[in-house]
Structures are given as C-alpha cells and as structure tokens.
Structure 1
C-alpha cells in the first residue's frame, strides 16, 4: 500500500516533540519520589478543602420546584429518592442545543459518559440526578441510545435560572432534614471536569465520604474507610459490611502502613 503525498507532507509539517530525558531505573524512581511528595501535598490540600466545604453555610430552599420524571410529576424532594443528599447536574439537552434531537450537547455528554455506577453514591445516602428541559420521551430515548442509567428529569419551571444553570452547566448540591431542603454547594465551569467518580461527587456533599478519617463537624455520620465498599449489585442484599471483606481491607491497610513506615510509599 503506497502512502499518499498528503500524509507525508502533514508529517513533515509537524514539529519534533521535545521529550523528557530517559533515565535508568534508580534515577527514574528518584524523580518519581520527588514528584510524589508534591502529589501527596496536593491530596492533603484537597482533603482540607473538602473539610472546609463541609462547613459551608446552607441556604434554605423556599420555593416548591416541579419536574417531570419517568413516573410523572416530581418535586425537588422527590429527586432525593428518600436519601439524605442530592446532587443535580444541569445537562443541556433540549430544543436549540447543539445536537438536538439526536444528542445532548457534547460537553454534557462527556460528563454523562464518565458517571460511575450510582449504587456506590446511593450507599452513602446520596442521589445523583441529571436535569434538562427536554421532554421525558426524548430523555428516555437518549439514555437508551447512550447507555446512561442515572435518573434524568425534565425542568418545568425556574429551577435552572434560580440555581445558576439556565445558560451554563453546573452541579447543585442539596441536603434535606425531613421535608426541609437546603442548598449546600455549587460547582460549574472547569470544576465540572473533576466530576464523574464516586469520590469527587462525595467530596462536594455536605456529609463528605462519611469515613472516620475525615475532618468533619461533630455528629456527622462516619464509618471506617473501605469497609462499606461493595459490588454495585450487592448493596441492597447486604445491609452490613461483609466480615470477610473487613478482614481483607484491614490486612491491606496494615500492609500499606508498614510500607509507608519503611519509606517505600
């Protein structure tokens, strides 16, 4: 097969990459350890910021917002699905949006494609929901085509305008105390890039990951780390951590603590 002159010309026009140096194993590991110090500092700073986020003031939600869901009319309280925390991502899928009616906007679709299995959030008393202005029949069609499983509602009033997502995407976070609802956090723009995995979602909630190592206000729910983890299809069947898994995770933690004490991590 002969190469086209066009492809050769395109390669010739590309500037040569200025790659980093190539080092032997010991020198490479020394460079990695040097970077690891900075990465650990960034992790601790992220944890401290999440702790500060958990102490942010709340804003009472006074208005009764209305949505349409797959089962009909729904209130903002209904979106919690009985759980204590709610994260609502405003996705742009509606008339006038690029991609309509076959697709949601490319950016919001990137966000949707990266959503981890919601069972892990649900196990931490947290619901993730998407909301757009498209009719439910179009949302159902889109979800089936793209393989998305998160609950997705239709906005029918001023919810998007009231919570800063009428013209741009964003995540709003809520908590409930009985039937009283409160807005606790909001993130948009490049902040949305970090969303998708279970930990990033939990870190923007008022209760956090709800693990014992976290710096949280007194009385917040907390359990030992790792122990609550489960296969996503087993949470409903197992209300308590499996004793065998607890033993496995304890052994793993002990091994890592030992390695860290010896300066290997």
Structure 2
C-alpha cells in the first residue's frame, strides 16, 4: 500500500476544507432528492395481503401498528438461503445489524418491519441469537413478488389514509446500504423527517427540528 503525502497541519486542514465543501454539496443534493421523493405520486394497494406475526395473522394495514407510515424490508431468512437455518443471508443480516432504535421512527408516526418466508419460530430463534428486536413477519402470499422483492432484498415505503394503503417509494440493491438510521428511513418516506426546514408540499406535517427529539425510552409510546 502506497502512503499518501505527509503534509503540515495547515496543509492538511486546507485539504479537509476542500473536502468539507464537497460533503456539504452532497448533503444539499441528498436533501433535494428527499424533497423530490416527497412529491412522488402514490399508487394504491388494491390486493389483500396476510402476514404471520408473533401475535398472529395481520393484513398490510395491520403492519402499520396504528401509525401513518410503514417501511417494509424484505429480508431473506428462509430455506434455500445461505446461512439457513442458523442465519439470514449475510447481506440482510448486515442491514438488520444497522437498524437504529425504533422509538425515534415511531415518534414520527412511522413503523419499520422486516418480512421473510421463514416460519415465526425460526424468525424468533434467529432474532434472539443475533440480538435483533424489530418486528419481523412471515410472508404468506405474493406480497414479495408484487413489490419487487421476491428474488432480491429491498425496502418499500407505504402510507395509510384510514383503511386505504398506498405505496410511496421503493429502494433496493446498493440503495439499501445507506439505510438503517432514523434519518435514512424517514428520508425515503412520503412525509420525510417532518421538520420545518424541509422542502415539502403544502400542508405536510412539520415541527421545529430538534424539539421532537428525545431519549428512546422517554417518548410517549416508548
């Protein structure tokens, strides 16, 4: 491995400032991309889907757990996948390892769940082994094929209006690498972070930044 040039502290700081300008440009572009996502059209989910959870069978609306938005990651934990029956696939496991505390998403009226084809007993066993705590449901029908995740992992975002559910966005392949934090999940949703600085359509829910933040055990529904 060839070493990079060794320079003075002043030269190093000048180089860092040049990189900082590029990083800020990228941040602004990422914010602009999230603003475009919030202006994406929605598509109604017309079919009925069923999932098996730790507490029984639920439909797609049930996955929201009473919240307005839903993010669904399709993980490959099932027979035929490398690592079975002790593990989910290594890539999906890395995604699971990066998921932050869900209380922060819940505070923005957003639920995150994982879905796979493994039976609940196997899902709970692997979750316990790996220390994962996110809700994880068993697929029972063609949901994965209908939403582009039957042969490869991916993350779908939905929003609920009463009993009606709409698909709002989809990220897969290397796009999933950036997911895991509260911010990355919110940025892919229809409502975003719901903070006043965001460029969102008129009437979208927004509150002052920082003021809604709290310790994960201090939110009202923690």
Does the pair score TM above 0.5? yes
Aligned residue for 2:70? 86
> Cα RMSD over matched residues?
0.9
More helix by share: 1
The within-5 A match list for 1:47-126 is 47-126=31-110
Question: How far off its partner does 1:172 sit?
Answer: 0.5
In structure 2, C-alpha distance between the alignment counterparts of 1:126 and 1:118, rounded to whole Å: 9
Tell whether 2:167 aligns with 1:183: yes
**Which one has more relative contact order, counting CA pairs under 8 Å at least 6 apart?**
2
Specify the SS of the correspondent of 1:63: coil
Q: Which runs of 5+ in 2 are unaligned?
A: none
Specify the SS of the correspondent of 1:73: strand
Distance 1:237-1:178 versus aligned 2 partners, 3 A rule: closer
Tell whether 2:129 aligns with 1:129: no
Aligned residue for 1:207? 191
In structure 2, C-alpha distance between the alignment counterparts of 1:160 and 1:135, rounded to whole Å: 15
In structure 2, C-alpha distance between the alignment counterparts of 1:236 and 1:137, rounded to whole Å: 31
Q: Give every structure 1 segment of 4 or more consecutive aligned residues whose post-TM-superposition deviation is greater than 3 Å.
A: none
Question: How far off its partner does 1:27 sit?
Answer: 1.0
Q: TM-score, normalised by structure 2?
A: 0.98
Specify the SS of the correspondent of 2:24: helix
Give the greater-gyration-radius structure (CA): 1
In structure 2, C-alpha distance between the alignment counterparts of 1:34 and 1:106, rounded to whole Å: 37
Aligned residue for 1:4? none
Q: TM-score, normalised by structure 1?
A: 0.83
Specify the SS of the correspondent of 1:107: helix
In structure 2, C-alpha distance between the alignment counterparts of 1:176 and 1:227, rounded to whole Å: 25
